[in-house]
Structure 1
């Protein structure tokens, strides 16, 4: 192989490494937030959203360039193989453990939330239940963190269909995709500003319509039109400014007490994250991209999906007497261990090597898993709710 043939391969590997490093930073932020050490660490979810919007749109645009269309069945099949095995493993393992050792309140919420997780609608279920995201004083819900997975899954369901419609509408595909994604992100921001409730922004924080801009801004950056514009911003200081801005937001943002987040702050953070992603993808040999490609950070990014799935159940089910940094260390150790087992024993084998997970046998396996999960929610008995006899009062 000549040097000219090697170069694209090396660039692609370096680019992927930098984006994996960004995933590692995102999951670190979430871990530190959920263990009480980084007030704005929840913004790691926004970084995940922007990454997902970018990567999925880039993948779909490549498919359109190669084939002239989008195979919805093929796309959704790949998403199912990527996401469902680890999710189903965590759902079954956590539910059984909760049923065996947790309090009746946690058992009830787990069995009630599980079907909505399975349907990728848990964010709307939690809102209907008035389960405020920022409320940490009620009964623990071991699946409440999966609201963000539901938002992404809903995006994966709708966005490829929109791109397919755009393809069939004629020319200027790239410009149309960029324009529609940008306009839709502005509409999403407007909805967030209009619907935010002071004191409890849960509706706009976990609602798909009001969070779509984070994914859509990533989608904008994946287009050739945006990449051409980013070429003019490729100076090293631009990346440093973006990292500094994101770091400041993560340090000072305080969820429910930072109203500015829900009147444009989250949009600004998502925009900065999307531009940073685009710069790392376009210039993989910069100092910033190489730092992000640091092997431990990249490995953390490679297990970030399963780590996100497991970290909150681990944290929620640990005994209350553990606190501070010892608790954080224990949560991280257990969660990383479970995530590594999930990746190497469940995710990768099914995603890359299991022939039965494709075609008709894949459809059968998917149906069997979904049916099995549905049976799980029905078979495990929920404790009866506590009732108080007030007949003798008065």
Structure 2
């Protein structure tokens, strides 16, 4: 029997997947949802993070499967080098720039939390640091942590470290046994996603849902469902659905996702942390898969709207910059200050994308190979020196004062 190959997902002669404008648009929708959530008008916009995670799992798994198909394995050093060039430059700019700005403004308590959180963000472990520090994500704008939003970047980085190793091992076993890779990867992704969902449900009874919200084990479900949508069996099933019912199904999924974003209200939506996040991630994964299979449909066409695509292109830097600027304007900021902070975040994100991210990612030859590894090491060491120098420059915390006027 001839194996079904979805026409859109078929490999190009260069081994690259065709560019899909709708996925850029989905990135734009995701970052706008998070921005509106943090700015105030959209309580459920934090679900944009799930959409980001699903997209990451989908795109990274597709890339890895294409490499295995072309070469028989995955070059882990090359993959991690590409991820470093993608993530580190803009992240280092935000970590250093924000820390220096907080220091220049004389915000001692904010600087203290930045110096406590920054090294963990640099190491890609911030989510676990915040969980261990009992830093409640839903204590909105309370203690003030300019790097709190980087927990999701840490979850992605941990996935980028582990998932390619899994695929290398699975590819080696499949090659030795003469089996196809895609069904094995699909099975592992599905089982791991179910395990992640089970962990989230088991931990959902805690008074503060931060552990479920930030844990790599509980949030891996979104990444793994995205990975599942990139595998051959699921692509084949979606290719069948991408005929007569593709437009209707995409519209239902998009409308359902929008409804969840409108109805969810953070920690007050207990149903989210008892399985709702998994349902949202599944809907997002199906929507991503359908947009890839039917790029000419009305939903994919709407997502390909130029302003959304442009926002998707700068989404990584926009995500990095928006939260520190909102924190610096303070919890009592008015609408004008919020608009100015968001506008400044968009401007900085555009500059970062065009002057930092894209040149290093696509054009800088020195950023590759051994010289690239040395550069990444130098940036890491430079950030460590910055944390150390500013930590020692911090003034001692003010001693608590006790009102004794009422004592006799």
TM-score, length basis structure 2: 0.91
Q: Comparing 150-159 with 197-206, which one deviates more in the overlay?
A: 197-206
Q: Which runs of 4+ in 1 moved over 6 A?
A: 391-394
Aligned to 1:338: 348
- Say whether the 8 Å CA contact 1:217–1:271 is kept in structure 2: yes
Aligned to 1:18: 22
| Counterpart selection for 1:240 from 235, 240, 251 | 251
Q: How far did residue 50 of structure 1 move?
A: 0.1
- Say whether the 8 Å CA contact 2:141–2:331 is kept in structure 1: no
The Cα offsets for residues 26-51 of structure 1, whole Å up to 9 and x where unpaired, read as 01100100011001000000000000
Aligned to 2:139: 135
The Cα offsets for residues 192-226 of structure 1, whole Å up to 9 and x where unpaired, read as 11112443100010000010000000000000110
Q: Comparing 312-321 with 226-235, which one deviates more in the overlay?
A: 312-321
| Counterpart selection for 2:274 from 232, 242, 263 | 263
- Say whether the 8 Å CA contact 2:62–2:230 is kept in structure 1: yes
For 1:186 and 1:97, how far apart are their aligned partners in 2? Answer: 43
Aligned to 1:122: 126
| Counterpart selection for 1:218 from 221, 226, 229 | 226
| Counterpart selection for 2:115 from 91, 98, 111 | 111
**1:273 paired to 2:284:** yes
The Cα offsets for residues 302-335 of structure 1, whole Å up to 9 and x where unpaired, read as 00000000000111112555313x2332122100
Equivalent residue runs for 1:96-245 within 5 Å: 96-136=100-140, 138-170=142-174, 171-234=179-242, 235=245, 236-245=247-256
Q: Comparing 93-102 with 141-150, which one deviates more in the overlay?
A: 93-102
Aligned to 1:68: 72
**1:306 paired to 2:317:** yes
Two-structure CA RMSD over aligned residues (Å): 1.8
For 1:13 and 1:34, how far apart are their aligned partners in 2? Answer: 34
- Say whether the 8 Å CA contact 1:57–1:219 is kept in structure 2: yes
For 1:327 and 1:391, how far apart are their aligned partners in 2? Answer: 36
Q: How far did residue 290 of structure 1 move?
A: 1.2
Q: How far did residue 172 of structure 1 move?
A: 2.4
**1:288 paired to 2:292:** no
- Say whether the 8 Å CA contact 1:107–1:383 is kept in structure 2: no
Quickly say closer, same or farther: Cα 1:390–1:261, change in 2 above 3 A: same
Structure 2 unaligned regions, length at least 5: 1-11
Quickly say closer, same or farther: Cα 1:237–1:357, change in 2 above 3 A: same
Equivalent residue runs for 1:54-93 within 5 Å: 54-93=58-97
- Say whether the 8 Å CA contact 1:199–1:256 is kept in structure 2: no
Q: How far did residue 14 of structure 1 move?
A: 7.6
Quickly say closer, same or farther: Cα 1:17–1:102, change in 2 above 3 A: farther
- Say whether the 8 Å CA contact 2:22–2:300 is kept in structure 1: yes
Q: How far did residue 13 of structure 1 move?
A: 9.0
Size of the aligned set, in residue pairs, is 385
Name the SS for the 1:25 alignment partner.
helix
Aligned to 2:5: none
| Counterpart selection for 2:366 from 341, 352, 356 | 356
For 1:273 and 1:183, how far apart are their aligned partners in 2? Answer: 18
